[in-house]
Every structure is written in C-alpha cells, then in structure tokens.
Amino acid sequence: MASGFSTLTNRDLIRSQLYSRQLKELILDDLFAMQFVRTLTEFPDGTTFNIPSLGQAMTQTFTEGQAIRYEKLDTGNFTFSFDTYKYSAHSISAKFKRDSFWSGIVESAFLPREHRALMEAVEADVLNKAQPGQTNGQVANDLNLINNGAHRWIGSGTNQALAIDDFHKARLSLTKALMPMSRLVCILDPSTAYSLATQTNAISLLTPMPSYEMIIREGMQSGFKFVYSFAGFDCYVSNYLPSGFSETINSKTVSSGVANLFFSAAPGDTLPIIGGFRQMPQVYSEFNKDLQQDEYLTISEWGWKLYRPENMITILTGALSSVVSW
C-alpha cells in the first residue's frame, strides 16, 4: 500500500474551488448624448434659470395719408430648473478589507462605477426630455405640427419599422421649422438600427458608397456611430432611448414603442436640449468609526429641458419583439 501523499488520503490539502485573481469586468457602452446639449454654466445661486426671448418683426401695408403704427416685439421667458439630485454610495467594512483577497480591487472600483452610474442617469435623462410627460415635452398621440411639419409620428415601415421615407420626412419638417441643415443627427434604438440594416432597399441605397463593403463585412455600427448616413443624417445607436410608448398617431398605432430622435446638432442656440449641472459629480469619502467601514459617495445635481421643440423630431418604432425573431 502506498504511503505517500495521494488524493485519496489527503483531500484536506486540495482546493476544491479555485478563484481567479481578477474580477469579471462589466462591458459598458458609449455615452454621447451630452455632445448634443447646450450646457450652461452661469449659476452663481438659485435653482431656476431664466432666458428671455424676442419674437420676430412683422410687416404692415403703408397707406398714404395715414400715420405709421409702431409695434413692439413679442417677448417671452424660457425657464428651467435643477430638478434632479442623485447620488451613488457604497461602503466596505474593515473586516472585509482584512479578510478578502479581492478587497483592494473592490474598493478601487467604487468611485469609477459611481461616476459611471450618475452619467448613465444623465444620458437617459437628456434623451427623455422631449417626450410626453416632461416639462415642455411633446404631446402624446399627436403629430406635434410646427409650421405644418410633423415632429412626432410612427415609423412608416412594416410593423412600425423605420423606413427611408421617414428620414426625408424628418428633413422636411426640420426645414419647415427653419432649422440649420448642418450636422443632422438621428439617435436610434439598436432594434431600429437592426431593422434598417436588414431592409433590402436600404442596402441598395448604400451600394454606391465607398464604405459599402465594410458595412456588409462588419455590420452597420462602428462603436456608437454608424459608418453611413441617410438623407444627410449621421446615425447613432443608443441603449438609453426612452421606450414603452403606446400611441395612435394619424390612424397608425404602436405598442410599447421606442422613441428615435432626429435633430440638427449645429452648435449654438439651435441645439434642442439645454441645461447644466448645478453640482458636477462630487466625491466624498470617510471612515465611519461607529460602523467600522470606509464609505464612498458620489453626488450630483442637474437639470435639462427641451429648449427648441422645432428642432426635435420623435419617430416611434415597434418593440424589439416586433422587429426580430430569434
């Protein structure tokens, strides 16, 4: 009988569970909505920001022998408030730090992930500001006409999918609203992008473009940006677009639809969303002697609002289940 070490006689010296020295990392998508926002920084104090506005001048017909009538310009006042105050906070006990092999990795992850959580909330908040229920947002179940151009409708493709004609309609509505035709942008839900990528007429439209072969080989998305454009719109993809809309617009119905956004991102006063941070993400940390734990807090305050309704078009498309069969 063997007297040396073996798995039969020395099981207590064998680790039955093995653990990696690394923790599994999250895969994070790109955040980019803030580049399309007019961000203000003039906040010495207060919670509500006011922006006065002037209307356009009108013309009158002159009649000889009658005095000219002098008019005043119409005035308005746009306001928005810092209405969101969010934080992300975590703690780690002194005992856990002594006992856990991964305590250093866990603790070092707190602040980057807290900041990321807040910026994801900002992203979703910005992309939602034009929707019904938001201050100054669009009206549900309505075309939201501006200068006879619709600013909210349901995708004209099969199963409420986005069609090429919708791009041209969006361009027409923005033109009617006197918006600049530079830096036209659309932000699409991934399901909408998939539906568009699999439409035969869309592929045919892209055939003459130099990037056509790359699109077929690698797919239509590159990071968060499409490598092509439709009707002058640069197309982005986002997982943070508002969804769950069940509406009937112009005799067409969508259930649990997602809002795809079209607008001009020309810099300056015409950007559709305005707002700012009352407090940029700020970090606090301390050791709580009573609870024997290190505590980390990241907190921020912000406010956003639809500033140019004429520069925001929403096209609702069907839910993922109506677009793809797995």
The encoded tokens of residue 280 equal 């940029």
Question: Token pair 């020295």 is at which residue?
Answer: 21
* 90: in domain: yes
Q: Are residues 295 and 310 in the same domain?
A: no
Q: Are residues 96 and 161 in the same domain?
A: no
* pLDDT of 220 above 70: no
Cα–Cα distance for residue pair 225/208, rounded to 1 Å = 20
Q: Are residues 244 and 259 in the same domain?
A: yes
Q: What local confidence, expressed as pLDDT, does residue 204 receive?
A: 60
Closest CA to 189 of 235, 247, 233: 235
Q: Determine what percent of the chain is predicted with pLDDT higher than 90.
A: 45
Q: Are residues 264 and 162 in the same domain?
A: yes
pLDDT in tens, 186-213: 999 988 888 887 776 665 654 334 333 4
Q: Mean pLDDT throughout 230-243?
A: 87
| Stated pTM of the model | 0.83
> Among 6-20, 223-237, 253-267, 299-313, which stretch is predicted with the lowest mean pLDDT?
6-20
Q: Indicate the number of domains in the chain.
A: 2
* 45: in domain: yes
Q: Are residues 310 and 170 in the same domain?
A: yes
| Rg of the chain, C-alpha, whole Å | 27
* 25: in domain: no
Q: Which amino acid is at 191?
A: S
Q: b vs e for 174-210, b when ≥16 Cβ sit within 10 Å of the residue's Cβ? A: bebbebeeebbbbbbbbbbbbbbbebeebeeebeeee
Question: Token pair 């090429």 is at which residue?
Answer: 164
Q: Are residues 231 and 295 in the same domain?
A: no
Q: What angle do CA 203, 209, 212 make, to 5 degrees?
A: 55
Q: Are residues 163 and 254 in the same domain?
A: yes
Q: Are residues 160 and 196 in the same domain?
A: yes
In CATH, what number is assigned to the domain containing residue 84? Answer: 3.30.110
What domain range includes position 260? 152-275+306-321
Closest CA to 90 of 292, 254, 293, 282: 293
Q: Are residues 231 and 311 in the same domain?
A: yes
Q: What local confidence, expressed as pLDDT, does residue 22 receive?
A: 58
pLDDT in tens, 61-100: 888 888 888 888 787 788 888 889 999 999 999 999 998 8
Q: Are residues 311 and 178 in the same domain?
A: yes
